Amino acid sequence: MPVRPRVMGIVNVTPDSFSDGGRYDDTERAVAHGRALLAEGADILDIGGESTRPGATRPLVAEELDRVVPVIRELAAAGAVVSVDTMRSEVAEAALAAGATIVNDVSGGLADPRILEVVAATEASYVAMHWRAHSDRMRDFAVYPDGVVETVCRELAERLEATEAAGIAPHRVALDPGLGFAKKPRHNWELLAALEALRVLGRPLLVGASRKSFLGSLLGVAGRPRPVDEREHAHVALVALLAERGVDCLRVHDVRATADALAVVAAMGATTDAGAMWPPGREDP
């Protein structure tokens, strides 16, 4: 029987994230939001200082550091399990020094290969996501002649090889299929329907579907996608299905709605409360 997934609450310390950009773009508001997510049931807080929405431009390294490090330091000092959402080795290094214990790298080490060395030099956990290009041109790479499932499995296997070559212990690595990154709506649904294929890689799975555009396209009317803030009901339905299919971690905006959905799944006897197998530290795999 699948175990209850860990819930990773999103804290975007950015002015331009697709869902909540600007709401928590200073330290005080971001920390307050993180504390609220913990109270609602988040197991992990994912702190990010760079928007990866389609078309986004990258902040300077100094800007990203100024956004995330003070927030991480304060929330980690309060006892939170903190993940840093970054593609940059400099930011990962500073975040780990400030108390983060997970590096959530949407590029899987492709944007900055040194990030793997930074993680390997610590006991931190690492999330390698499927990624092909930065936000300003990733739409050009949403082409999968061999099929999206086969291609994502192959390219994530290559990322796993890179993490092992860098010296990151396999039990510290999780994989993310990268919903919405260089993928058209149908690609996302194909991946979600074929998560067992990713299981063959032998690593825990993190899925981030919260409020993404493929849900907006599904729910749209007359070719107009459902607005970002009106996609949560569909996401909650997906959360329940993913829990039953054994996903290990869910990256979400609305922690309370996700926790409620997981409570229903558990009450129906579809999951146990043993805790997910990743990240190590609480329950080692």
The model's pLDDT over 121-142, given as tens digits with 9 standing for 90+, comes to 999 999 999 999 887 788 888 9
Please pick, among 73, 132, 159, 212, the residue that the annotation labels catalytic: 212
- 224 given a catalytic annotation: no
Give the residue ranges of DSSP H helices in the chain: 27-40, 61-77, 89-98, 114-120, 148-166, 185-193, 195-199, 213-219, 232-244, 255-267
Q: What pLDDT shows up at residue 284?
A: 46
Structural domains for the chain: 6-272 (3.20.20.20)
DSSP conformation letters of 9-48: EEEE--S--TTTTTTT-SHHHHHHHHHHHHHHT-SEEEEE
List Cβ neighbours of 162 (8 Å cut-off, separation of 6 or more). Answer: 108, 109, 113, 116
pTM of this prediction exceeds 0.85: yes
- 154 given a catalytic annotation: no
Q: What pLDDT shows up at residue 117?
A: 98
Q: What pLDDT shows up at residue 26?
A: 86
Cα(80)–Cα(44) distance, integer angstroms: 7
Please give the DSSP secondary-structure letter assigned to residue 139.
Answer: G
Please pick, among 4, 183, 226, 251, the residue that the annotation labels catalytic: 251
- Residues of the chain short of pLDDT 50, as ranges, are 282-285
CA distances from 111 to 49, 86, 89, 107 (A): 16, 10, 9, 6
